[in-house]
A = this chain, B = another copy of it.
């Protein structure tokens, strides 16, 4: 009668899934205490150490906050993305339990401007792929994604259907990223951006300029515009290596 599924994964993982699921469905309200370890033991029929491990790992992953002598609480929502993965906006949206949809505005082969060619560190002017995609979270546009892609690394970029596969996923699968550069700034929306993102001209947007390398070769140059009022970027990490 245990509430846990009969899969092959370890018990403590099942307990973690059980807890995450119940947090996701709102079974435990955001500000009330979760069941105690002993209550989980009684409810799930596993040992307290196993429950403890599940709760400990969820805590260190940032989902829970635990206070000795008090109890276990749901942590305030976290923008948990590391900067390296912020490009996978589709996964982020889905991870938050929302619906993701994308709309391809442009997908073409172009001859770059001199400046763009310089971004790619090209010695001679060479053709590039160019895509513009709008990403929606629950039918609300949150990100305008413009990418330039090096055809020598990703030859079939312009033949993909990016309303089905996210550009990020396709690129990740096609070529390894060995280095990343980010430049983040805040800019007012211009007329075209405003139209695509359904916001007013001049609204605050987060502009993320991103270059990725595969070895010594620039693979992609992206301009990601996030609606300031609907999105923020987060990262958390430990610079732990010793004194």
| A170 close to B (CB within 8 Å) | no
**Chain B neighbourhood of A186, CB < 8 A:** 186-187, 204-207, 226, 228
- The smallest beta-carbon distance between A68 and chain B, in angstroms, is 9
B81 close to A235 (CB less than 8 A): yes
Give the number of copies in the complex.
2
- The smallest beta-carbon distance between A196 and chain B, in angstroms, is 16
| A105 close to B (CB within 8 Å) | no
| A67 close to B (CB within 8 Å) | yes
Contact A205 B206, CB 8 Å, known A226-B186, A238-B179, A240-B61: no
Count of chain A residues with a beta carbon within 8 Å of a chain B beta carbon: 54
| A94 close to B (CB within 8 Å) | no
- The 6 lowest CB-CB distance pairs between A and B, nearest first, are A186-B228, A185-B232, A186-B186, A186-B206, A181-B236, A186-B204
**Assuming A70-B123, A184-B206, A186-B186, what are 14 further A-B pairs, CB within 8 angstroms?**
A21-B242, A61-B240, A67-B123, A81-B82, A81-B83, A84-B239, A176-B243, A182-B235, A182-B236, A183-B234, A186-B187, A187-B204, A188-B203, A188-B204
